[in-house]
């Protein structure tokens, strides 16, 4: 059934959108419509943890976006994945659970005018979502719908990596979920009982049984309808037809960092000159919509080790055994996560906060074949923790099926490439520490091994990719130039908010799924608060 109207219309069913649909429909008096361009997230493969990652690169479940040629990557174009199904990125990601550092959110509040978004103010919303199954702790929630747990299949080398980081001089972080990531630690993941806990599974499974919530899949959002300065509905495409749902309360754009700007621009909100070039009538000139794009640049180093790692299990008879193990006891290779430990380090000793983030995994790929390496290997991905490089999103056309223009400089800032060079060299040092050195057979990538900073820079510019963490294209702020105010309301338009990773003003030093879910929780509470006043 296609509803004609609702109190709340949510444009996008990703991590934040699923949370919003759940929380706004908890009150049976609120009618809610959630529009998602991709398919649903039910079925066996969406529950098996590794099944979600298989959906990357598939046009039916991944937006499969491509950047413009990037001069900072020696002119290379990048393939940018984005989840295109209920749950968004949480249905296809590596299931890493990390919130970021206290300083990330405190700086939003104290330096960027994002009142109400300090660590102490967002922390309760992390807890609200969480259904943690580890040892009881004041830093974890146990009654929320989002499964958070230790990975069911862990390799001993993850702890060896943390110990080697200690020998290198990094702190061992006892509880990285307490707002402290300055050091090394092993990871938690978004799984429950051996199954992927995507935002769709966690927040929609039960909620979709409510009569006041309508979830429409295969429904591509075109634009927000705005009359006399107020959002009045959403136009979308389903089954090849243009359809409209009227909004009696608020429209919430939750289409993600890469797609929310396009929804707003097609609605007449954005940089006026660009909208006019596209033939869009300007409703409000908001210059920063689509600007401020940030993403984690990622450079990998691979080492051959003396014990089997997960890539050695990718043989037909072993895969069959691991699949059977999953079917019977929900354990084994099908439950692994791509990053089992992390470390944060400083490229220079004078820095107040680490500028390099390291992600350690047991799944090494052969760069030539793009398949699991035949040799036992471990991989470390080095990211600039809080990148200074920026890009932007623009419309390619006014057709909502057309993919946006992604014009980014992934390593466009001199400080970012300097951090990456230093970080990549320090990775090599960490693997000479006694705890890990006894297991290292030799380096596999980069190949050949750079011998100077100039060679490191070229190796990084020639092969660095994305971290799958785009943010900030509809930034929140206390200043009038920001796209949304601290209550996530689009400036100058009544009844319209943006609630997803695009509102983050600055990249947190973390993967972005848990922060996106937190933004959904906090955004839903603000909507309900404002409706009751």
Task: Tell me the catalytic residues.
Answer: 469
Q: Distance (Å, rounded) from C-alpha 524 to C-alpha 52?
A: 27
Are the C-beta atoms of residues 15 and 520 closer than 8 Å to each other?
Answer: yes
Gap between the Cα atoms of 394 and 42, Å rounded: 33
At residue 372, the 3 state secondary structure works out as strand
- Report which of 162, 129, 161 is spatially closest to residue 143, judged by C-alpha positions: 129
Query: Distance between CA 357 and CA 296 in Å, rounded?
Result: 9
Q: How far apart are CA 443 and CA 435, in angstroms?
A: 16
Tokens 């109400």 — which residue? 116
d(CA 432, CA 452): 18
CA distances (Å), origin 116, targets 82, 460, 509: 29, 38, 19
Question: Which residues, other chains included, contact 83 with Cβ-Cβ below 8 Å and sequence gap of 6+?
Answer: 14, 38, 55, 61, 62, 63, 89, 90, 91, 92, 93
Which one-letter DSSP state was computed for residue 484?
A: B
Residue written as token pair 């929630």:
141
Task: List beta partners, residue 484.
Answer: 476, 490
Cα 438 to chain centroid, rounded: 35
Instruction: Select from 56, 92, 57, 328 the least CA-distant residue to 196.
Output: 92
Rg (CA), the chain: 22
Q: Look at phi and psi of residue 390 and say left if phi exceeds 0, alpha if psi is from -120 to 50, else beta.
A: beta
Give the C-alpha separation, 69 to 407, whole Å.
Answer: 8
Contact 38, 222 (CB under 8 A): no
Instruction: State the alpha helices, DSSP H only, in 272-401.
Output: 272-277, 316-329
The helix-helix angle for 15-24 and 513-532 (nearest 10°) equals 30
E strands in 53-144: 65-66, 79-80, 96-97, 130-132
Closest CA to 445 of 457, 432, 460: 460
| Cis preceding linkage at 448, omega within 30 | yes
| Beta carbons within 8 Å of 221's beta carbon, 6+ residues apart | 11, 12, 35, 37, 234, 235, 236, 255, 263, 400
Q: Which residues contact 169 (CB under 8 A, 6 or more apart)?
A: none
């Amino acid at each position: 059934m296609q509803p004609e109207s609702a109190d709340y219309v949510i444009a996008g069913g990703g991590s934040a959108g699923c949370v919003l649909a759940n929380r706004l429909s908890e009150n049976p008096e609120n009618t809610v419509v959630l529009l998602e361009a991709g398919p649903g997230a039910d079925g066996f493969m969406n529950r098996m943890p590794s099944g979600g990652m298989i959906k990357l690169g598939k046009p039916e479940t991944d937006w499969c976006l491509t950047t413009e040629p990037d001069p900072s990557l020696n002119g290379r174009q990048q393939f940018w994945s984005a989840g295109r199904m209920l749950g968004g990125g949480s249905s296809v990601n590596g299931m890493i659970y990390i919130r970021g550092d206290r300083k990330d959110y405190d700086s939003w509040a104290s330096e960027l005018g994002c009142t109400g978004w300090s660590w102490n103010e967002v922390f309760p919303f992390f807890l609200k979502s969480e259904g943690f199954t580890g040892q009881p702790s004041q830093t974890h929630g146990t009654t929320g719908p989002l499964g958070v747990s230790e990975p069911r299949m862990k390799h001993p080398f993850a702890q060896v990596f943390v110990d080697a980081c200690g020998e290198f001089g990094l702190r061992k972080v006892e509880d990285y979920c307490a707002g402290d990531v300055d050091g090394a630690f092993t990871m938690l993941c978004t799984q429950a009982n051996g199954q992927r806990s995507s935002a769709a599974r966690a927040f929609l499974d039960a909620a979709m049984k409510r009569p006041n919530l309508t979830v429409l899949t295969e429904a591509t959002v075109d634009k927000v309808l705005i009359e006399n300065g107020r959002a009045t509905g959403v136009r979308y495409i389903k089954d090849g037809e243009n359809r409209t749902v009227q909004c009696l309360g608020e429209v919430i754009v939750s289409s993600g960092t890469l797609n929310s700007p396009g929804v707003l621009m097609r609605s007449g909100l954005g940089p006026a000159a660009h909208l006019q070039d596209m033939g869009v009538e300007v409703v409000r000139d908001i210059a920063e919509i689509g600007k401020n794009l940030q993403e984690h640049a990622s450079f990998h180093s691979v080492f051959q080790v003396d014990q089997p790692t997960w890539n050695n299990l990718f043989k037909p008879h072993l895969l069959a055994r691991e699949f059977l193990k999953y079917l019977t006891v929900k354990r084994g290779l099908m439950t692994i996560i791509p990053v089992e430990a992390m470390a944060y380090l400083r490229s220079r000793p004078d820095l107040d906060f680490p500028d390099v983030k390291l992600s350690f995994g047991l799944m090494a790929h052969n760069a030539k074949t793009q398949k699991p390496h035949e040799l036992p290997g471990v991989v470390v991905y080095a990211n600039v923790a809080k990148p200074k490089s920026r890009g932007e999103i623009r419309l390619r056309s006014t057709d909502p099926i057309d993919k946006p223009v992604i014009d980014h400089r992934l390593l466009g800032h001199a400080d970012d490439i300097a951090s990456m060079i230093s970080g990549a060299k320090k990775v090599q040092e960490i693997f000479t520490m006694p705890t890990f050195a006894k297991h290292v057979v030799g380096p596999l990538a980069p190949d050949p091994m750079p011998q100077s900073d100039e060679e490191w820079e070229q190796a990084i510019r020639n092969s660095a990719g994305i971290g799958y963490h785009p943010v900030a294209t509809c930034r929140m702020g206390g200043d009038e130039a920001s796209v949304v105010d601290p209550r996530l309301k689009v400036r100058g338009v009544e009844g319209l908010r943006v609630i997803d990773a695009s509102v983050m003003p600055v990249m947190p030093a973390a993967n972005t799924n848990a922060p996106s879910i937190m933004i959904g929780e906090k955004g839903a509470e603000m909507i309900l608060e404002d409706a009751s006043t």
